[in-house]
Amino acid sequence: MDSLEQFGDIDIYLFDQLLRRRLVPGMRVLDAGCGRGRNLTYLLRAVYEVFAIDADPGAVEVVRELAAHLAPHLPAANFRAEPLESMSFPDACADAVICSAVLHFARDDHQFDAMLNGAWRTLRHGGVFFARLASSIGMEQRVQRMDGRRYLLPDGSQRYLVDEALLLAHTRRLRGELLDPIKTTVVQDQRCMTTWVMRKT
């Protein structure tokens, strides 16, 4: 089996968490905003107990088909079409929550908080929260404010952008503990993507 077949198109920063054994087989992992499952191929193959939600029913159907092929023991009810801010999974049900390229689609502060709180409540104490999201870090002069924290990016997209101060404030509010320093990648002066990894204390 080659690496693409084994890992799929996994986010390289999530792959880093696997290498450091913060996510290990047997853990209950919730992909909160799974899309079409780009981060789930390895987790399904490696006998994690996988759960996932996405607001797009078509994307969830693709993930159900992927799971039926790679992990047929998992029930279809583990994969649900519902918004992040009102997930039906119970509190503290997951050992790890992945929230990759999702939170920056928030319309405003209220929805961002609701999405973040929705993901956080499903994480057990001591669990790992992994998020990748757009930010203004390193590109403050190249983004144009539209409304509140909604910005127009040089790549033409509009996103809800966080900065370091906001992420640290949310970390304190949630009583989280940073597992890594906040890290940001500048993508050829078009956008910035920030990695935010916490433990629930």
Tens digit of each residue's pLDDT (9 = 90 or more) over 64-92: 999 999 999 999 999 999 999 999 999 99
3-class state of residue 135 by DSSP: strand
How many independent structural domains does the chain possess?
A: 1
Domain that includes residue 53, residue range:
3-200
Q: Which residues pair with 79 in a beta bridge?
A: 52
Tens digit of each residue's pLDDT (9 = 90 or more) over 2-31: 776 788 789 999 999 999 999 999 999 999
Q: Which two tokens stand for residue 50?
A: 């996988």
What integer pLDDT is reported at residue 16 of this predicted model? 96
Give percent above pLDDT 70 in the chain. 100
Q: CATH number for the domain including 123? A: 3.40.50.150
What integer pLDDT is reported at residue 1 of this predicted model? 72
Task: Give the chain's radius of gyration (CA, Å).
Answer: 16
pTM of the model: 0.95
Q: What's the mean pLDDT in 110-126?
A: 98
What integer pLDDT is reported at residue 158 of this predicted model? 97
Residue 133 to residue 113: CA distance in whole angstroms:
14
Contact 94, 53 (CB under 8 A): no
